[in-house]
Amino acid sequence: AQSVTQLDSQVPVFEEAPVELRCNYSSSVSVYLFWYVQYPNQGLQLLLKYLSGSTLVKGINGFEAEFNKSQTSFHLRKPSVHISDTAEYFCAVSDLWGAQKLVFGQGTRLTINP
């Protein structure tokens, strides 16, 4: 079984500042890793995913994440945030085989202040 821990429930940041949202996972098997964003009263939008290959993954809206197998982490970063990045961010994992069920972290509320 897998589990995901997002270490920060809320992250306030000033506009144009860099941000890092932390995600650690636990799994006895190899996994796929995902970051999703959820705007208020909406479903989830895929930001980026790690399947294999390069450990630095670039996604939409200027976000990127780095897979670190030894630290079992998949932290999300953006060098300069905008007001429009205010949203809830979810880290998720699924195993490589079986039913591709996603296990989500608790979410991190990113608030961008002007």
Partner 1 sequence: GAVVSQHPSWVICKSGTSVKIECRSLDFQATTMFWYRQFPKQSLMLMATSNEGSKATYEQGVEKDKFLINHASLTLSTLTVTSAHPEDSSFYICSASLGQGQETQYFGPGTRLLVL
Please, which of residues 20-79 interact with partner 1 by CB under 8 A?
32, 34, 36, 41-46, 49, 51
What SS3 class is residue 22? Answer: coil
- Beta strand pairing status for 103-104 and 3-6? unpaired
User: Which segment (16-24, 55-63, 68-76, 103-111) binds partner 1 by CB under 8 A?
Assistant: 103-111
Q: 83, 87, 95, 68: which is closest to 16 by C-alpha?
A: 83
Query: Which is closer to partner 1, CB of 3 or CB of 80?
Result: 3
> What's the CA gap between 86 and 26, in Å, rounded?
27
Q: What sign does the dihedral 75-80-85-87 (CA atoms) show?
A: positive
Nearer to partner 1, 9 or 70 (CB): 9
**104 sits near partner 1 (criterion: CB under 8 A):** yes
Provide the binding-site residues for partner 1, judged by CB under 8 A: 32, 34, 36, 41-46, 49, 51, 90, 94, 96, 99-107
